[in-house]
Amino acid sequence: DQEDMHNRPKVFVTRNIPSAGLAKIQAATTCEVWPERMPPSPDVLAEKASGCDGVLTLLSDRIDADFFDAVGSQLKVVSNFAVGYNNIDVAEATKRGIVVGNTPDVLTDATADIAVALMLAAGRCLREGLENVVRKEWQTWEPMEFIGQDLSGKTLGIVGMGRIGHATAKRCHFGWGMNVIYTSRSDKPESDSELGASRVTFEQLLADSDFISVHTDLNPETSKMFDSAAFSGMKSNAVFVNTARGGVVDQDALQKALTNGEIFAAGLDVTEPEPLPDDSPLRDLPNCFILPHIGSGTVKSRDAMAEIAADNLLAGLEGKPLRHQVTA
């Protein structure tokens, strides 16, 4: 009834998300959903969220002190529709007593699948092959063209052996018998025993890997960790794959490494910024295979992300523990 509607918490959801989550939110709150394909500008976002008790955000929404100032001190919870939360100033939120939620686990397999897809796509020259067909340049079977790299028996370097890193390594170890090495903030005994993996230094990983797959979060320490020194430390047959965050790569350095043959190819599901500008030279490199950030893009993963994000939002509104809460 009217009074019930009046007492409901007010929330803003910054994009249309699967009904598996949205329906729960709509049933329990007074909710406005941003209906457009493109994200609201920071000003519009702050205006829409102003007076709200909770917000559900995407990785394209910047949530910082200015946002919190504009929205007001009644805000209790920011629920991010993603496992990554580098778009949110969590320390600032915590200082203000605002809880922040994310959606881990449910996109691990989907993202690991895209990492492997990129290893194959970049390693086996799938862009060149596809363009050859689409541009009607396919003349004959060519013994010396579209020659790529084997995965079988090669060494895979995982940078960041968390959930997604482990799932990627597992596919490669059991699928292609790859030897797995990794860098990580701590030892990963499970990866060592299940996959025969070993933790090495960053320099050693660069020097020994035939494929390098990035699974670290983006933070001040990992920002641009793949710079020109890192690329020149890699093998010339190396295939570099990133499904984490574009900000870990110095893209000018990557472009040079791909152009000069310092490395063989790259497969990117993430760039900085997103979208990659139309005139970015990376777009034109035949040995650079780029996807528009689709790692979590399966029916099951996106439905589960929506459900967790909704549960996090509603728990935060009630002052209860979130299913997945992040800390600075």
Residues recognised as catalytic? 245, 274, 293
Contact call for residue 82 and ligand DGY (CB under 6 A):
yes
User: Measuring CA to CA, which residue among 131, 108, 59 is closest to residue 289?
Assistant: 131
Q: How far apart are CA 39 and CA 165, in angstroms?
A: 29
What is the spatial distance between Cα 247 and Cα 244, in angstroms, rounded to a whole number?
9
Least CB distance to ligand DGY at residue 121 (A): 19
Query: Given the complex with ligand DGY, which of 124 and 302 has the nearer CB atom?
Result: 302
Identity of the residue, 176 or 226, whose beta carbon is nearer to ligand DGY in the bound complex: 226
Report yes or no: 101 and 57 within 8 Å, Cβ to Cβ: no
Q: CA-to-CA distance for 305 and 58, rounded, in angstroms?
A: 11
Q: How far is the CB of 214 from ligand DGY (least distance, A)?
A: 12
Contact 128, 151 (CB under 8 A): no
Q: Which is nearer to ligand DGY, 40 or 295 (CB)?
A: 295
Binds ligand DGY (CB under 6 A): choice among 79, 191, 213, 296: 296
Interface stretch with ligand DGY, choices 78-86, 89-97, 180-188, 255-263 (CB under 6 A): 78-86
| DSSP strands (E only) in the chain | 10-13, 30-33, 54-57, 77-80, 99-101, 155-159, 179-183, 198-199, 211-214, 239-242, 265-268, 288-290
Q: Which residues of 30-41 are buried (b: 16+ CB within 10 A; e: fewer)?
A: ebeebeeeebbe
Per-residue contact flags (x/-) with ligand DGY for residues 235 to 274, judged by CB under 6 A: ----------------------------------------
Question: Between residue 100 and residue 139, which ones bind ligand DGY under the rule CB under 6 A?
Answer: 107
Q: Is 276 in the site for ligand DGY (CB under 6 A)?
A: no
Interaction between residue 56 and ligand DGY (CB under 6 A): no
- Sites of contact with ligand DGY (CB under 6 A): 59, 82-84, 107, 295-296
